[in-house]
Amino acid sequence: MSTEGQVITCKAAVAWEPNKPLVIEDVQVAPPQAGEVRIKILFTALCHTDAYTWSGKDPEGLFPCILGHEAAGIVESVGEGVTEVQPGDHVIPCYQAECRECKFCKSGKTNLCGKVRGATGAGVMMNDRKSRFSINGKPIYHFMGTSTFSQYTVVHDVSVAKIDPQAPLDKVCLLGCGVPTGLGAVWNTAKVEPGSIVAVFGLGTVGLAVAEGAKAAGASRVIGIDIDPKKFDRAKNFGVTEFVNPKDHDKPIQQVLVDLTDGGVDYSFECIGNVSVMRAALECCHKGWGTSVIVGVAASGQEISTRPFQLVTGRVWKGTAFGGFKSRSQVPWLVDKYMKKEIKVDEYVTHNMTLGEINEAFRYMHGGDCLRCVLKMQD
């Protein structure tokens, strides 16, 4: 029986308050309005950014909300005026929209899109500035324009990437955030050249994807830095050629790296969200040209600092969101690359669980062995 035009009641994990366990609730999901798409979510992974907002440290965090932004599913119904997807299409919801019409999209200089960002940051849909989620009439905020910890979600049409229907959704859900972020930080933001020396701070999913991207770009050395020595063995499979544990050294880690590389690395990537490490990542770069890319998300109130002399003498400090990928245009391309075995995805999935086990899944995520935990969303 078609559910088009009907309110759907389904299960979702609701964050009622910061840091309190998520609660599986029966949630009412309203039909999509003009320019909106309702998606049946089949699989979602957990990302550290979900945990960050849940912790209460995200200045944009609103409660109660439905978190989640790394997922894949099938279009259930579309609102008026939606032309690029239809019911039955396999899709990845994209927290970074791409409208192709706004000043940002037309600039050719960024993957950021301005069309719906104001609404997604306020936890509502652009049309009427209201939520499509409610529990017995009480509105529940959206998150990052995706809210994939729900069996059904409503997103803006500019936030939907249509993908190859043959692609396994329990794997390609990862292409909604962490893996593209690392690959794109190397390919789009830094534009690493063959022969470069690269330093990757933090060997979680994002850092490993940076290493994978650097290897593919022809880097001569990929130095992985992590305080957890358990990370090193696995990282070799993703392209890391050398390991440094800051705990093994008395000197500041930037000095250790400068000494190891005859003056500094060509490119560094901070994939942790720690502002002291961001400084070290900049200062381990080679004088005259070294570029450091901030990928990690630091909490509200945190600030970066360095001596301006570091920049005067030619080092460059950059940041990246979703690895600079244009979501609707390039996520399908990434799925195709995965299908052709040109990029890894399966290797990042270390745990598979269900929506009902989501609190336990977050505990695994914070444990050292987990890269990505994928939740099966439907019963």
Ligand X SMILES: N[C@@H](CCC(=O)N[C@@H](CSC=O)C(=O)NCC(=O)O)C(=O)O
Ligand Y SMILES: NC(=O)C1=CN([C@@H]2O[C@H](COP(=O)(O)OP(=O)(O)OC[C@H]3O[C@@H](n4cnc5c(N)ncnc54)[C@H](O)[C@@H]3O)[C@@H](O)[C@H]2O)C=CC1
Site residues (vs Zn ion, CB under 5 A) = 47, 49, 99, 102, 105, 113, 115, 177
For ligand Y (CB under 6 A), the number of binding residues is 31
The residue (of 110 and 305) whose beta carbon lies closer to Zn ion is 110
Interface characters, 130-149, with ligand X (x: CB under 6 A): --------------------
Smallest separation (angstroms) from ligand X to the CB of 274: 14
- Return the residue of 10, 15, 42, 49 that touches ligand X, per CB under 6 A: 49
**301 contributes a contact to ligand X by CB under 6 A:** no
Catalytic residues: 47-49, 69-70, 99, 102, 105, 113, 117, 177, 372
CB of 349 to ligand Y, least distance (A): 13
- Determine whether 322 is exposed, middle or buried from the number of CB atoms within 10 Å of its CB (0-12, 13-18, 19+): buried
Phi, psi dihedral angles at 363 (to 5 degrees): -65, -40
Question: What 3-state class would DSSP assign to 353?
Answer: strand
177 binds ligand X, rule: CB under 6 A: yes
Residue 253's identity, in one-letter code, is I
Residue nearer to Zn ion on the CB measure, 269 or 290: 269
Angle CA 307–291–296, to nearest 5 = 85
The residue range among 55-63, 185-193, 269-277, 343-351 that interacts with ligand X, by the rule CB under 6 A, is 55-63
Strand 152-156 with 160-162, pairing: unpaired
60 binds, among ligand X, ligand Y, Zn ion, none (CB under 5 to 8 A by kind): ligand X
Distance, in Å, from the CA atom of 95 to the CA atom of 23, rounded to the nearest integer, reads 23
State how far the Cα of 87 lies from the Cα of 85, in Å rounded to an integer.
7
The separation between the first and the last C-alpha atoms of the chain, rounded to the nearest angstrom, is 18
53 three-class SS: helix
295 binds, among Zn ion, ligand Y, ligand X, none (CB under 5 to 8 A by kind): ligand Y
Phi-psi region of 118 (alpha: psi -120 to 50; beta: other; left: phi over 0): alpha
- Please report how close the Cβ of residue 49 comes to ligand X at its closest, in angstroms: 3
Q: What is the DSSP string of 67-125?
A: ---EEEEEEEEE-TT--S--TT-EEEE-SS---SSSHHHHHSS-S---TTHHHHHTTS-
Q: Which does 113 bind (CB under 5 to 8 A by kind): Zn ion, ligand X, ligand Y, none?
A: Zn ion
| 47 forms part of the interface with ligand X (CB under 6 A) | yes
What lies within 8 Å, CB to CB, of 177 at 6+ separation is 45, 47, 49, 69, 70, 95, 322
- The interface region with ligand X, picked from 56-64, 122-130, 146-154, 366-374 by CB under 6 A, is 56-64
Q: CB under 5 to 8 A by kind: which of Zn ion, ligand Y, ligand X, none does 58 bind?
A: ligand X
Interacting residues toward ligand X by CB under 6 A: 47, 49, 58-60, 96, 112, 117, 177, 297, 321-322
